[in-house]
Amino acid sequence: MAASVLIACGLNEQKLPGFVHISEESNVDGSFLISCILGQRLRISNAGTLLVCLQHHYQHYFNAGMRLGYNSNIFLGKTLNVIDVLSDMARQGLNSKWLRSPNGLTLTEQLAEDIRAQLANNYANRSSYTILIDNLSILFNLGASKLQVQQFCQALADLAKEHENLTVITKLSNSDIHQLTDNNVAKLGHVRIQVLRLKSGVFREVDGKLLIERVLDEGRYACEESRKEVLYKVNDRNVKIFNPGEIGVKV
Amino acid sequence: MTSFRKRTVQKPIRGTRTSPHTAQVITSSGNPSLDVILGGGLPIGSICLIEEDRFMTHAKVLAKYFLAEGVLSKQEIFLGSLDDLPAEMLRRLPKPLTDEEVELEQRQEQLASEQPADKNGLRIAFRYGDLPLVNSEQAGHKIGHHFNLMEHMDSMMLYYAQTTVWDDSYKEHDIVVQEDNISNSSNSLDQTATIVADASPAAVDATPPPAAAGENASTVAVDVEIEADAESTAVISSSNNNNNNNDNNTASTTPGTTIAMPATQPPPPPPPPAAAVAPPTAVAPPPPAPSAMEPHFFYNPRYGRLLNDVQQLLRDESFVPGTNTQQKNLCRVCLTSLGSPLWYDDHFAGDLLKFLTILRASVRSCTAVCFITMPMHLIAKYDTSLVPKIRQLVDYSIELESFAGSERETHPAFKEYSGLLHLHKMSALNTLAVHMPETTDLAFKLRRKKFVIEKLHLPPELQETSEKSAAADIMATPNCGSIVSGNSNVSMDF
């Protein structure tokens, strides 16, 4: 269902890189990537996953997962843990801890605290652990500054370095607007996936473009990088990948 | 032990159905052609943003359709606006058409489309004679209702509608009390905000005096002392929850508000006769205590007040998903001209984004749909980067580009249309793939009785060469999705 897109991004392996950043341009929807990665992580036995829902409710990921052929509810509370910020805000309204910062912690500090608590509870029992954050631009909307978001991502990257087999995957929407933060966060890891729209407009058979940048070897003076560009089409129950030039206008 | 399990089929919410394409519960936006573009209707929990045209005429029409559909489907309605008078807007909702009227109208339209060809003496070539007529109007199978924009909805329908309006009544410090002459009043929406004190039916009208004048109602000015902290006050919102909230007609004044009632209270009027079209006094539920209400999250307290009212309404158990109660219902939240200059202050951008983020969280987690209109051309002038940020926070973003006031208004290529419709965002909510309409080159026309969205067709041949070249100048180059991408020089990616 989603194997082709994961292979294209190099995320189909059991052991993932420590920090992966997904940049999403304005006017393009890359949330299918999160659903694909989530499904892949849940299928690995004894691999823990923490999903931080900022963009959608957990229910959205469940429904999208069902389309991709996995039932995330089976894993919920076992290998899958969820921090559903959006649901909490809906329940508590303006009294939600994410909006009030009751302990004097900022939104990002509070979130980092909760992630650390989840990690402390679950990491030891799991063969590997993945933290999925969808997405960082909501933190900006809720009043976090660039510095706070940057520090939050830095703290997550440090966690990934401290813990073996821990992967942090972040997503940032409107990357063309938050360009500085986007580049800085991407520098924290070795894999960056850019979800770009087609500059020539809308095409029925292709939704957009994935630009995958991977640092292969970071030497003292030179850095070896690989860049790969593929086209994608999100269908109702799968995601198709095309190489540039493979698909064209049929007359 | 048998594997037989009794199948429990959940009763669908009024005015909703399950989409056969996405298996999502959807509801009509009120306009059949807009429903077709959205893939059948608005999914429950979604936010639809209409980017207003410069003169704000067409976006309001769509908002009225949205509200009228809610009234007809007996759904709960929340209408909030700073620019418009919500009560006035509700009073001017379009009249629903019966099935016979819809059929008759369609037949007349078909006849009208066939007539001009005969008059001109033009005949269709025999090979094309048997082909069905091309209908470019975006209308599919029947969902929702049809409305007539020329006539207003019957006041009896509005009487039974469950509506809550918000116009930030606290902007007025002097509130006018209107003695409600219920037996003489002919419209349930004459009172926009009502406070009943000590079971006496004195009503507080928060609308400006001109709107409240007339209708055989004597008005008495009452001093209202509002505490200095404006944030701690709550919004008086009118509510016509007549059907099931009769026992809620009790006193509810805001904590910071003191109403000095005149010493000589008029006796309570007799109960209205059954035939009288007048609302029983209904009051919005009392707001929470000031300390718990607004923890100063917004710089502009209006956002907090609006959000509190919306969230308070959405917390009702009839909107909680998954519950199997008999009173399961859908809430339609409509906010018109959000982000207009009346909302401006020093922290406008930050507050608006915060508001939309929390509103999105609230709407997603209950059985509600939200319809927002925004003057995006003004917001773009305020801050260009705000536009994509706002679009990211909604599920559907549709721009109405009206020809009024532009050179396209008189251009022969567009003489059939009132404007262009741009689809900026269609998001996949609770699913993987997004629904895309057959074409994204769409135009709308405001006819006498209805608002229609059609595929954009240029006339077969323009008369003069100069006109043709002018049309070519105005229209974007015929790249695929030319409406979406303004850059015509870019080569194709595939």
With 0-12 CB in 10 A as exposed, 13-18 as middle and 19+ as buried, what is B218?
exposed
CA distance A243 to B134: 37
Mutation pick from A236, A246, A250 vs chain B, by most beta carbons of B within 10 Å, is A236
pLDDT at B22: 80
Q: Which amino acid is at B272?
A: P
Number of helices followed by number of strands (H, E) in chain B: 13, 20
Statement: residue B257 has pLDDT above 90: no
Statement: residue B215 has pLDDT above 60: no
Segment A193-219, tens digit of pLDDT:
999 999 888 888 899 999 999 988 777
Read off the pLDDT band of B404 (50, 70, 90).
Answer: confident
Contact A84, A53 (CB under 8 A): yes
Instruction: List % helix, strand, coil for chain B (3-state, nearest 5).
Output: 30, 20, 50
Q: Which carries the bigger pLDDT value, residue B328 or residue B116?
A: B328
Q: Which carries the bigger pLDDT value, residue A121 or residue B204?
A: A121
Contacts of B481 in chain A (CB under 8 A): 200-203
State which residue of chain B sits closest to A172, comparing Cα positions: B392
Read off the pLDDT band of B235 (50, 70, 90).
Answer: very low
Please determine, looking at this structure, whether the domain spanning B23-106+140-167+299-455 carries the CATH number 3.40.50.300.
yes
State which residue of chain B sits closest to A24, comparing Cα positions: B392
Distance from CA of A77 to the nearest CA of B (A): 20
Statement: residue B200 has pLDDT above 60: no
Distance from CA of A198 to the nearest CA of B (A): 6
Which of A29, A91, A242 is nearest residue B427 as measured by Cβ atoms?
Answer: A29
Q: How many domains does chain A have?
A: 1
With b for 16 or more beta-carbon neighbours within 10 A and e for fewer, the A206-223 pattern comes to bbbbbebbbeeeeeeeee
How many residues comprise chain A? 251
Mean pLDDT of chain B: 71
Distance from CA of B357 to the nearest CA of A (A): 7
Range of lowest pLDDT (A1-5, B94-98, B122-126, B178-182): B178-182
With 0-12 CB in 10 A as exposed, 13-18 as middle and 19+ as buried, what is B120?
exposed
> What is the pLDDT averaged over residues B386-410?
90
CATH of the domain at A161: 3.40.50.300
Q: Which amino acid is at B177?
A: V
> What is the pLDDT averaged over residues B457-480?
57
CA distance B43 to B20: 12
Statement: residue B243 has pLDDT above 60: no
Residue with tokens 């409305």: B147
Contact A20, A168 (CB under 8 A): yes
Q: At what angle do helices A107-122 and A146-162 cross, to 10 degrees?
A: 10
Contacts of B366 (CB under 8 A, 6+ apart): A90, B45, B314, B315, B319, B320, B321, B331
Segment B40-71, tens digit of pLDDT:
899 999 999 999 988 888 999 999 999 999 99
> What is the pLDDT averaged over residues B424-436?
89
Contact A141 B366 (CB under 8 A): no
* ∠ CA B397-B412-B465, rounded to 5°: 125
Query: Does the residue A251 lie in any domain?
Result: no
Contact B31, B62 (CB under 8 A): yes
Contact A90 B365 (CB under 8 A): yes
- Strands (DSSP E) contained in B293-438 are 331-336, 368-374, 396-402, 419-426
Read off the pLDDT band of B469 (50, 70, 90).
Answer: low
Statement: residue B149 has pLDDT above 60: yes
Q: Which carries the bigger pLDDT value, residue A197 or residue B219?
A: A197
Q: Does A59 touch chain B (CB under 8 A)?
A: yes
Query: Does the residue A66 lie in any domain?
Result: yes
pLDDT at A228: 94
Distance from CA of A245 to the nearest CA of B (A): 5
pLDDT at B434: 87
Residues of chain A with pLDDT under 70: 249-251
Contact A135, A24 (CB under 8 A): yes
Query: Does the residue A249 lie in any domain?
Result: no
Contact A26 B392 (CB under 8 A): yes
The structural domains of chain B, with segments of one domain joined by +, span 23-106+140-167+299-455
Q: What is the DSSP letter of A94?
A: G
Query: Does the residue A250 lie in any domain?
Result: no
CA distance B285 to B438: 45
Of all residues in chain B, the percent with pLDDT exceeding 90 is 32
pLDDT at B8: 65
Contacts of A73 in chain B (CB under 8 A): none
Residue with tokens 């984004």: B353
Q: Which backbone phi and psi does B2 adopt, to 5 degrees?
A: -95, 150
Distance from CA of B44 to the nearest CA of A (A): 12
Contact A198 B311 (CB under 8 A): no
> What is the pLDDT averaged over residues B475-484?
48
With b for 16 or more beta-carbon neighbours within 10 A and e for fewer, the B136-163 pattern comes to bebbeeebbbbbbbeeebebebbbebbb
Q: If we measure between CA atoms, which residue out of B375, B87, B353 comes closest to residue B203?
A: B87
Read off the pLDDT band of B190 (50, 70, 90).
Answer: very low
* ∠ CA B360-B439-B146, rounded to 5°: 65
pLDDT at B129: 63
Q: Which carries the bigger pLDDT value, residue A179 or residue B175?
A: A179
CA distance A185 to A171: 10
Q: Which domain holds residue A86?
A: 2-242
Q: Which carries the bigger pLDDT value, residue B166 or residue B204?
A: B166
Q: Which carries the bigger pLDDT value, residue A47 or residue B174?
A: A47
CA distance B388 to A28: 10
Q: If we measure between CA atoms, which residue out of B404, B350, B406, B357 comes closest to residue B382?
A: B350
What's the complex ipTM? 0.94
pLDDT at B491: 61
Q: What is the DSSP letter of B71?
A: H
Contact A236 B431 (CB under 8 A): yes
